[in-house]
Structure 1
């Protein structure tokens, strides 16, 4: 009969131990034996059982507390599924493995870099090194919306740069419009990441080493030098214009003022002459003979005042030219008398 068949009460098992009479009595006997063995270690208040219990309670308390830093956000997972988001400070949660917390620094600026070599709109080859800086605004989306966020941002940034550069010419890229292209690339990248629901914000996109390939670098250097010479000539022209234009405007204003003065003078003189003629006409109508003689005398006085005089005292046989004194040296009365005497003699 086998040792483990029913009814073998006196049989010994292979380990030379008597088989218990029943399952219930066997469990009770095993419990008493275990209690007896642990009696000397866990029977008192400082025994092994108490130490183990205290250790378990401490571990549960430590696992239930979580501290989130002032620059962080905590994402709580319950059995691997999102439960809630914790802000900065001390929080309590269910111990592991029920709940776990993943912390994300929301104020930290992260960066990824890349390089593209592509054709521009005017079919020129250009090489661009770019850098993208970003922040995690939503910790949950940052952790679980996309896989490998840095790789995703790098791929999206390369696509945005290719889109912007492919729509621009080489001159636009290498000239002062580069900053506008960088801004367009940043907007395109942010729109793409928002479509991914990534929970990140692009803070800056920058281009470095924007240059044509080494094979054609010398030709593009010549083009850039020519562009710089053109810009220098334009600047010199603008500086000359800013210097000459104000002088020309001043001269124009002076000439216009002189013309206005000359106009006013001529009008005033014409009006004075007209007024004088009107007065003479009135005197002439009152005394025609006297007025005629007076006008003749005044005219001769004006004519002879600026001319040399010739005195003939020989009846026309001998002419002696005598230098006369300036008209201003002779008294007006003498000149008038001389002119009147000459006029009298000349009159028939």
Structure 2
């Protein structure tokens, strides 16, 4: 119901300023308002002076001004976080950079915009791009960066984040357009990542956006869906080729050292056998050269000695005993029967030959052997 509508408030009209019946139209007197406010402030601060009239309105305004100044000064304190920096604008124009901690600004004059300079931010660039060999590939790349200069980040360009996104897209398209499809999908990913980071830094330095690129990650690179199966087969074949090459290299690295070592061992054994044979031959030649004068002086004696030495070397590992038939039967021979019996393998009853230098072998029967063993206490035998 409108304020001047008939019947309002029980038939009494009331205007917006509280006048009933439409009397005294218009706003209340300003002096009256300030007077009431002054009286309230005097009561609040314990004042007992006269109410604000024409002369007391100045004192009331002074009190109001002081209270407002106090409130204005207190409200200007603010805090900046440890990882943040505050950019102060005075009447909309850059003034200074505030460090972390408790600071103060002039309200309605200064404005503060905080920027986190330690947080690592991330943006992703992707899209279908044309390669050097006229193939289409979809590439995704993630760029990590942080704010290096808050002032430049906020005011060097309209939007530093959008500018970096456009710079990433431009740099990525330039690098992809200078590479072939196989390099992008297989072996050239690291090179593309490094070249893209260099190109992004070049653009950032030129526009001076106050941003520092921390890392660039080459996420995925894949061909269009229409030819994806064919490219997958090509990539699988390439991977199989690299795997077979690595397996062959591993087999070569395992076999080649062994074969080289075996060949070296055989060569050294052959050289050793050669030196041994040559030395033995040279020793025998030297021995015969020393025996030659003796043989020329006494042929029979030398021949007999050589014969005995040869027989000794032949029969040294046998159980046969050689005796001299020319020595006669009166000599007493001492035979090492215990060693002969230990060297002789256990056999069934049989004959044991005894050789003589003239080639005649004497056989002793088993009964003679037993009788001989019965007399072995003295470890003597007579022939």
The aligned residue for residue 45 of structure 1 is 42
**Correspondence 1:124-163 to 2 at 5 A:** 124-163=135-174
Give 2:80's aligned residue. Answer: 68
Q: Deviations over 1:218-250 (max 9, x none)?
A: 111110110121122123212322332232133
Following the alignment from structure 2 to structure 1, what is the Cα–Cα distance between the partners of residues 30 and 170?
70
Residues 298/37 of structure 1: CA separation in 2 closer, same or farther (3 Å cut): closer
Q: Which protein has the bigger helix share?
A: 1
Shift, 1:332, TM fit: 8.2
Give 3-state SS (helix, strand or coil) of 1:45's partner.
helix
CA positional deviation for 1:137:
1.4
After superposition, the C-alpha distances for 1:61-84 in whole angstroms (9 at most, x for unaligned) are: 145323111111001112222211
| 1:79 maps onto 2:91 in alignment | yes
CA 1:299–1:106 in 2, change beyond 3 Å: closer, same or farther? Answer: closer
Deviations 1:149-191 (A, max 9, x none): 1211111111221222223222222224413321331222122
Q: Residue 294 of structure 1: CA displacement?
A: 5.5
Per the alignment, residue 107 of structure 2 pairs with: 95
Instruction: For structure 2, list consecutive stretches of 5 or more residues without a partner in the other structure.
Output: 1-28, 45-59, 325-354, 361-383
CA contact (8 A) 2:294 2:302 kept: no
Higher relative contact order (CA 8 A, sep 6+): 1
Residue 358 of structure 2 is matched in structure 1 by: 337
Contact 1:107 1:136 in 2 (8 A): yes
Distance 1:299 1:211 in 2: 91
Tell me how far apart the structure 2 counterparts of residues 140 and 233 of structure 1 sit (CA, whole Å).
Answer: 56
Contact 2:142 2:217 in 1 (8 A): yes
Which residue number in structure 2 is paired with residue 226 of structure 1? 237
Deviation at 1:281, TM superposition (A): 2.2
- Alpha-carbon distance in 2 for matches of 1:36, 1:124: 84
Determine which of 256, 267, 284 is the counterpart of 1:245.
256
d(CA) in 2 for partners of 1:148, 1:38: 49
Count residues in correspondence: 284
Q: Is the 8 A contact 1:74 1:104 kept in 2?
A: yes
Is 1:281 matched with 2:292?
yes
Describe the shift of the 1:260–1:107 C-alpha distance in structure 2 as closer, same or farther (beyond 3 A).
Answer: same
Aligned 8 A contact 1:126 1:210 in 2: yes
Classify 1:258/1:116 alpha carbon distance in 2 versus 1 (closer, same or farther; 3 Å): same
Report the Cα distance in structure 1 between the residues aligned to 2:30 and 2:90, rounded to whole angstroms: 37
Q: Distance in 2 between matches of 1:60 and 1:112?
A: 41
> Is it true that 1:199 corresponds to 2:210 in the alignment?
yes
Distance of 1:80 and 1:271 partners within structure 2 = 111
Which of 328-337 and 222-231 deviates more?
A: 328-337
TM-score, normalised via structure 2 length: 0.64
1:301–1:335 CA contact under 8 A, matched in 2? no
The CA RMSD measured in Å over matched residues stands at 3.3
TM-score (norm 1): 0.70
Which of 201, 212, 222 does residue 211 from structure 1 map onto?
222
Relative to structure 1, the CA distance from residue 300 to residue 88 in structure 2 (aligned partners, 3 Å threshold; closer, same or farther) is closer
* Conserved? CA contact 1:106–1:139, under 8 Å: yes
How far apart are 1:195 and its partner, in Å?
Answer: 1.8
